Amino acid sequence: LLHEQRAAGEPVIEFTHDVQFERLPSTLESAVFRIAQEALTNIRRHSRAQRARLELNQRGDRLALLVQDW
């Protein structure tokens, strides 16, 4: 997803992660992907920010996705 979004140009996307897993269960993986995809689409369409950040963090059995634009 990030590769495709970065190839499309702005916004410049920064991605960081702190996770211990290699793959998630397929339903959770799809949900996280779709949320990130929709967030990036909204940034491009509505905020027209030149910079965005996605952070994926794991704390125990919890997963957090932070999306930020400027």
Chain-centroid distance of CA 18 in Å reads: 13
pLDDT of the residue at 31: 97
Question: How big, in percent rounded to 5, are the helix, strand and coil portions of the chain?
Answer: 40, 35, 25
> Exposed, middle or buried by CB within 10 Å (0-12, 13-18, 19+), for 56?
middle
Q: What is the pTM of this model?
A: 0.84
Digit-coded pLDDT (tens) for 47-56: 989 999 999 9
Is residue 1 over pLDDT 80?
yes
Q: What is the pLDDT of residue 25?
A: 95
Instruction: Provide the H-helix boundaries in 1-70.
Output: 2-7, 26-42
